[in-house]
Chains A and B, each alone.
Chain A
């Protein structure tokens, strides 16, 4: 049956990458020479390991990873020591793999997956015979596959793909697998992605192998299919797993229909969201209330007026290459993305305002995404563009489309299982010894193993799996010469394999086997290498330096962490660094459950002082001092550290309330005395420099007593008494008998807002960027807590009620005629310049600014009013030469009604009176109504008076 070993052999598989990627690194130190005698690239070890892992025998590791004892029966102690890698589950409980992929893989396991641990068992067969065997095995394996998922395959979504790309490159996948893109924030040179492939675990052709939902299911729980944990769980939820699957299988998106055209549906996909506060909708995390498709960017899918959001996604088709400007005009916020790029930033709570962005694009199709939300008080969304040959216009339906076809594996054809081929395949499955690794229900195993047992193997035999030439009939792993030599050497002294590994060796073996070294350093080896370091990022904006993004060192970790906490982290998903984007993978208790004991034993410190007794007399008193030390009354640990779920006053460093369940006392004490000695590069400053307490007030500055006290407090399980200063209440700026100014980031009035609170309880915020009155409200002025605690992050809303957003855009403009559209550019772009303000006796400001050559004084004042307080505003303009065609825009609204008393009712909410030399005009413009007042100069001056009642 078997043909002779043919010299006209297959093309060179990349034998250096033979062993599944986890091993690649480890064995790369061996001189890599392929079976053909060619030099192969050796690459760098995954992470930082240019040389062998101290104390780990490469031959032994190979024996384990290639599951040699699957065929070669071994005594239990050997089996246990090798902790062999088991192959993926086939059939029930396994992954549903397409026949086309099975055929490819069986024909040449190393073709698509260079470095797989799956041996080529058909090597050396004649072509016809091999094809027949592949076909029979494919039918047999397909016959035992789990049933296909009932749900329809998802349609592709380019933005889900984008999210998948971001997740794949940030949660930790690329610590072992090759990255497919340059790191997101690579400020330095991009890594050589091709070179990285040579030292990474191959992924195979996922687009051909299976469906999005199968792969997503696998990613959520890989241990079910691959129980040996070499592929760990990354703690992905369904939407994350789907996103990564869709990214890895993105080739399915560009599949064409029978005519060769991409399969598209007209219009855009939309998702509709609702929330208590529209501004807080998270478009990539929240679950949409409804979804579907719409012709173009319209708000019609919204089911209510307030606190909703819409996400539109699809493809925009551009006829010509060039610079395109996109616009959104929205109330409230909106963003527009083309591919990865945020082109329009029109975020925040605001009245209808237009923002734009320009991007250079080639002709053709581009992913487009718009998110839009409305809080309250009216809504609007217009999405427009202009570019080569396109005048500014709302993006028409004809330019928009979305992917409408379900994603299906590549190369999908009808496949009917043939019973005769199934029977033949089952026969081969046994005769080729597949069953000795892959246990499949219904395939007998007992007494069928034909290989020699482990103890009687002859490593020097001319014909063997580890011989220089592997004869047909034996599994061909395409080992390098150095790999073969390492295995032979280990086999020659295999008696040692009957002895269990010591704890130190066990730690090294486990860390190498699971490639923990690609993220964690220990004893001077490992840690993210330079090529992959930039893929370790943070979640959101976290100013913690490398401590915020790099996984912690495992150096002496057994002396640092309590065994129970190590168990929690290793097998129960425990994590205390929410700011770190890279996740701690879960390898399964059966695979790494031994580590806590091994770490503790390997890292034990003989001189560790005893832990202070938390129940000793005085312990409760000490804990009180500890609390003072942690709070703003002592060392202000909470200036940086979160505490019991409460945010710190500054950066979100690790939650100190976890101390007692995680750390060992001895480590805690040594760390406080000299943080950098245990965490090189830490930003934690020493508070007992040179052993002397900085704080002399608490416990008389006694170092040991202070550290004891901290432990007594932090080692608690419950914190009914939080540290002083942690929880900040409201810090209202109270306005009493004179006006109060508050310049800061105010929501709705910009980054350069000037808030003014008046004793009459009507307040305003002036936007000094746009140079306009932006917000008015009644009642309480503002809560300054956001800006007066921590680093003062973010925009604060008015504290009082009845908040009215005034129209965005300039308040003054020169118009060609009465019909001309009101311009959108404000601030410096429109020749406005802020000049400052003057305060009167009651501390009320008169704002001073200029527009072109006109100097403007703007004096708002509050009036208590009979019912509600209201605002008046006197604008005095001066110009050496009067400016012609100068207009003031007093109001914009959907509906403005002129009142009998000469005032205007704007959107049934604001009663506005404006008087000046010129007569106010109510006009329609851009689908809105506007009140404009011509500015008439007399003697180089003009005056306008406004009154706002709302």
Chain B
């Protein structure tokens, strides 16, 4: 049992809670075997960087520097250059203060010798011109948005895109309203200060990042007009769903006509048919099942150094101190896809994520103001692949009549070809002006058949009762590897905004 310590909880817990509290946890009535899945730590190891006493490293933005140091920005407005961040075990890690006194930094990126940061009030670039290890020039690149002293008015910034833009996402004022210009918008800011309003409808972002082909995504948190936390696609010109900031259409023509006000109490996919600018979230992270505060985004473009989930996205959850995995596909021209549990057990509330070319996923944490499971006030950790291949669903792809599941290695065709090995339910959320939403409109589709491909690496599920606009929650309690092993995670949540034609 010792080796399975931290991993078995997923399965056991369902059983435990269901028995104990008579609770409807996943609402799936699954008989769980007492056997346990292999632990996450067999495949992905967390390396904790020791933080010197006296440094409050609420790591809110990360950037690998050309000299191999890791720049770590904090919520307290400091930037440290960390030497030895890649050592394992993490010995001789050094933190050198590079800049301080900035205002809650939530974005770091580099270009042409400058380190750019997105702080609460502006996009700033800085440089150490004297070679003393400390930045001495700070230039305001652009300050197109307003702040009024409300703590909630955060500004998150991306890495530079291929056109030399930082994409920002700007939290609403006080979580419900937009009191200052462009609160609730995404603006692109070029390296030389040109500002392009890009999307409206933002509520409370937790992070922003691009996928492998450079399309930009951000996470938005449960709240008004957001039934649950979600990953949203910042396609320029779109409205992301929260209408509070729409008053700022008066400041710009960049997005065209102001979208019609959505109807509170409706459903996202219904409103999206009426409001052409409305972009439904490609991925919903079902509340509590996946997380409660979606945060930073990183894409695995390491060409296999981080394992076998190439080009997929990794998304933090602050409350649950986890990193989740996201796989996207384009269906009928729009992104959508599935999210999966990936790695739990970070020390603090996962906030900033940075994938480095060597295949390290750095995770910065803070639980200040928002409690997190990890329990530590702040942290900086590195997640590394152990080289062992986990038995996982690598992808879940929508088909006109069901789904296709790809696995990281072959499945046992006996167990995987039985529809009884799978359980599926669907639900959606109320699209409403008040805070969050329960899961509603629940259905239980029937899995009519499960056909294992010749190579055993994929399974085609024919499903009766796909629901447009619903999350399709899939569990695979019966699926085994040829050696009889269980999946490391047997849950997948597919947001089916579009059923393929």
A residues bordering B, Cβ < 8 Å? 185-189, 530, 533-534, 541, 543, 545-546, 632, 634-637, 639-640, 649-651, 670, 673-674, 676-678, 680-681, 683, 685-687, 689-692, 694-695, 725, 740-745, 750-752, 754-755, 768, 784, 787-795, 833-840, 848
Residues of A within 8 A of B175 (CB): 543
Q: List 20 A-B contacts (CB under 8 A).
A: A188-B263, A541-B174, A639-B372, A650-B368, A650-B371, A674-B21, A676-B288, A681-B438, A685-B292, A686-B288, A691-B12, A691-B20, A740-B101, A744-B77, A751-B121, A752-B103, A754-B101, A755-B101, A784-B76, A794-B151
B310 within 8 A of A: no
Query: What residues of chain B lie closer than 8 Å to A795, measured between beta carbons?
Result: 149
Chain A residue contacts of B486, Cβ below 8 A: none
> Is the pair B12, A690 in contact by a Cβ cutoff of 8 Å?
yes
A674–B377 contact, CB under 8 A?
no
**A691 touches which of B16, B320, B436 (Cβ 8 Å):** B16
B480, CB-defined interface residue at 8 Å? no
Cα-based distance from A136 to B349 in the complex (angstroms)? 76
**From residue 80 to 136 of chain B, which have CB atoms closer than 8 A to chain A?**
100-104, 119, 121-122, 124, 134-136
| Surface stretch bound by A, among B138-146, B388-396, B406-414, B487-495 | B138-146
Bound Cα distance A566, B377 (Å): 36
Chain B, 241-254, contact with A by CB distance < 8 Å: what is the 0/1 string?
00110000000000
Contacts of A833 in B (CB 8 A): 140
Extra contacts besides A686-B288, A690-B9, A840-B136 (18): CB < 8 Å: A188-B433, A541-B174, A545-B436, A546-B436, A634-B375, A635-B373, A649-B368, A649-B369, A674-B17, A744-B77, A751-B148, A751-B149, A752-B147, A754-B101, A789-B368, A792-B75, A836-B138, A839-B134
Look across to chain A and name the residue whose beta carbon is closest to the beta carbon of B175: A543
Q: Which residues on the B side are within 8 Å of A683 (C-beta)?
A: 292
Most B C-beta atoms less than 10 A away, residue of A678, A833, A839: A839
Q: Are A670 and B20 in contact (CB under 8 A)?
A: yes
Which residues does B use to contact A, with CB under 8 Å?
6, 8-14, 16-17, 20-25, 56, 75-77, 100-104, 119, 121-122, 124, 134-140, 143, 147-149, 151-152, 174-176, 222-224, 243-244, 263-265, 288, 292, 319-321, 367-375, 377, 432-436, 438
Asked if A751 meets B17 with Cβ closer than 8 Å, knowing A545-B223, A650-B371, A744-B103, the reply is no
Q: What residues of B have a CB within 8 angstroms of the CB of A741 in the complex?
A: 100-101
Task: Verify A836–B434 contact, CB threshold 8 A.
Answer: no
Dominant secondary structure of chain B at its interface with chain A = loop
Residue numbers in A under 8 Å from B13 (CB-CB)? 689-692
Q: Is the CB of A690 within 8 A of B17?
A: yes
Shortest beta-carbon distance from A281 to chain B in Å: 19
- Interfacial chain B residues near A792, Cβ < 8 Å: 75, 104, 151, 368-369
Q: Across the interface, do B21 and A677 meet the contact criterion of CB distance under 8 Å? A: yes
- Give bound CA distance, A650 to B318, whole Å: 14
Q: Decide: A743 and B143 in contact? CB cutoff 8 A.
A: no
Name the one of A634, A680, A790, A837 contacting B368, with C-beta atoms under 8 angstroms. A790
Q: Give the residue of A634, A636, A650, A743 whose beta carbon is less than 8 angstroms from that of B102.
A: A743
Residue of A nearest to B436 (CB): A545
Residues of B within 8 A of A677 (CB): 17, 21-25
Contacts of A743 in B (CB 8 A): 77, 101-103, 119, 121
Question: Is the CB–CB distance between A690 and B16 below 8 Å?
Answer: yes
In the complex, how many angstroms separate the beta carbon of A652 from the nearest chain B beta carbon? 12
Of the candidates B17, B369, B434, the one whose C-beta lies within 8 Å of that of A533 is: B434
Q: How many Å from the CB of A528 to the closest CB on chain B?
A: 11
> Given A741-B101, A792-B369, A185–B176 Cβ distance below 8 Å?
yes
A748–B14 CA distance with the chains assembled, in angstroms: 54
Contact of A751 among B23, B101, B147, B265 (CB under 8 A): B147
Across the interface, name the chain A residue whose C-beta is closest to B319: A685
The answer for the CA separation of A633 and B11 in the assembled complex, in Å, is: 28
- Kindly state the separation between the CA atoms of A66 and B176 in the bound complex, as whole angstroms: 46
Given A546-B434, A691-B9, A788-B76, do A674 and B373 touch, yes or no (CB 8 Å)?
A: no
A650 with B137, Cβ < 8 A, contacts A187-B433, A636-B375, A674-B17 known: no
A533 to B265, CA, bound (A): 12
- Considering the chains assembled together, what is the distance between the CA atoms of A521 and B296 in angstroms? 37
Nearest residue (CB) in A for B7 is A692
A530 / chain B contacts, CB cutoff of 8 Å: 265
Residue of B nearest to A648 (CB): B371
Instruction: Determine which residue in A634, A685, A745 has the highest number of CB atoms from chain B within 10 A of its CB, and name it.
Output: A685
Query: How far apart sit A636 and B23, CA to CA, in the bound complex (Å)?
Result: 26
Cβ–Cβ contact B103 & A545, under 8 A: no
Closest to B11 in A: A690
Taking CB atoms, residues of chain A closer than 8 Å to B367 are 636, 639
Closest to A754 in B: B101
What is the distance, in angstroms, from A249's C-beta to the closest C-beta of chain B? Answer: 32
Known: A187-B433, A743-B119, A838-B137. A791 touches B368 (CB 8 A): yes
User: Could you tell me the distance between the alpha carbons of A755 and B8 in the complex, rounded to whole angstroms?
Assistant: 51
State how many angstroms separate the Cβ of A828 from the closest Cβ of chain B. 8
Residues of A within 8 A of B222 (CB): 545
What is the CA–CA distance of A634 and B17 in the complex, to the nearest angstrom? Answer: 23
Measured between beta carbons, the chain B residues less than 8 angstroms from A634 are 375
Q: Is the CB of A639 within 8 A of B9?
A: no
B20 and A673 contacting across the interface, CB-CB below 8 Å: yes
Closest to A745 in B: B149
Most buried by A among B21, B104, B432: B21
Residues of B within 8 A of A790 (CB): 368-369
Min distance, Cβ A648 to any Cβ of chain B, angstroms = 9
